[in-house]
Amino acid sequence: MKQNASETSSLHRGLILAALIAAGEAVFLLPFVLARVFRPTFLDVFGVTNLQLGTAFSLYGIVAMVSYFAGGPLADRFSARRLMTAALLATGLGGVVLTGIPSVRVMNFLWAFWGLTTIFLFWAAMLRATREWGGATRQGRAYGLLDGGRGLLAALIASFTVLVFALALPSDVLSATPEQRAAAFRTVIWVFTGLVLGIALLVWVVVPDITPQDDRGNQQKLSLNGILGVCRMPAVWLQAVIVVCAYVGYKATDDFSLLAHDVLDFDEVAASGIGTLSFWIRAIVAVAAGYLGDRIDSSRVIAWGFSILVAGSLLIASGAVVPGVAWMLITTIVATSVGIYAIRGIYFALLAEGAVPLTFTGSAIGVVSFVGFTPDVFMGPLMGVLLDSSPGVLGHQHVFASVAAFGIVGLLATIAFRRTTRTHRAGVSAL
């Protein structure tokens, strides 16, 4: 039985989105997911403190800040397939270096290098391709499916690698020697590295090689016109503030596994399982937020997300979560994750709601990301200082008090964004 044209087109669109999802998660496996899921093990095997790991994240963020501006116009000029494939290949090669358990100095260099490969070559290209995939009426759905799909893939990968890690250790995890722990963790790093390189091939095969064009159908040139244009739009700056505050919450998910370890006295495998739980929540919530955002405005869903994020963070910060009571902490982590991932799943859908021209999508992403992802620079060291200076439960309370404060600012910025874009939203609703 032959497929008709619409079925073929739908299948092709599905494959493209699947490749974008796989690439969007794979490129960040080594710089972020590895430490998020296995943070206690990472600190132990590499022999580093929370502050030293946070410094590596900060160097990544510094390089990324410059890369956001440069990568935006690049995505408005060159094919997403070529940029994304190059980024994945370079990031995977960095994973080969990481398997050698390098020194702190080499680790810092490696994270800075990843700031270049994952942002300059990759970030804006992936988000522009997603906006084009979503078309005029499915922006929330496009970004929700992207982030939810990334969350699902991350959950599957994290669950699989936690299993691999557990199998590579003795049955009594606490009896593992430092050498056994290092060997098991090196296996996990190799799995992540192989996935990154394999998905580079998937992107090259599936994503179409399309060069962006301007409104007249001409190939665009590298210029600063797009950046200058979007910088004059108040909605873009409000979106940037929203992303800053949401990303602080997202960075705090790095603390979930260590929180479970300190508050509930979980062993390394069980603590990694708590970190993995957050990924499963992301997979469900981001997709739901995307579909809901297309029905009632993404900005309204984001306002709800900030409200949930603030409530959950204040609960942890208040000390109301009793040490040793597993259900209370896990419930709070789940609720807080719902708020975080509802916002994260669709905050780039605000590009369309804020009436950013499609031709300047990459440039707008560059400006929003330059401001919005500054937590990559300060959040790692901040968490490191708060956790190391107040060991145990108190340090985690300080971390989530900071998250709650940013969440309140994000909620206010979202309200301001809705007021600023009210006319455009009314016009879209009338269509």
Please report, for residues 24, 232, 365, 388, the alpha-carbon distance to residue 370 in angstroms, rounded to integers and kept in the order given. 18, 15, 8, 28
Using left for φ > 0, alpha for ψ between -120 and 50, and beta otherwise, residue 211 falls in beta
Task: Break the chain into its structural domains and give their ranges.
Answer: 10-209+224-429
Structure token pair of residue 284 = 């469900």
Task: Identify the pLDDT of residue 4.
Answer: 46
Return the C-alpha torsion angle 338, 341, 343, 348, nearest 10.
Answer: -160
Indicate the SS3 state at residue 81.
helix
- CATH superfamily, domain at 10-209+224-429: MFS general substrate transporter like domains (1.20.1250.20)
The per-residue pLDDT for 182 is 86
Q: For the chain of 431 residues, list the mean pLDDT of each consecutive stretch of 10.
A: 52 90 93 84 88 87 85 82 95 94 93 94 90 79 88 82 85 76 90 95 89 56 66 91 95 80 69 72 88 90 96 87 68 88 92 83 86 84 86 85 96 94 60 44
- pLDDT at position 323 is 60
Contact criterion met (CB below 8 Å) for 111 and 245: no
pLDDT at 115: 93
On whether the CB atoms of residues 369 and 124 are closer than 8 A, the answer is yes
Using the CB atoms, write b or e for 235-265: b if 16+ within 10 Å. Answer: bbbbbbbbbbbbbbbbbbbbbbbbbbbbbbe
Q: Please give, one letter per residue, the 3-state secondary structure of 362-404.
A: HHHHHHHHHHHCCHHHHHHHHHHHHHHHCCCHHHHHHHHHHHH
CB 379 within 8 A of CB 36: no
For residue 377, the model assigns a pLDDT of 77
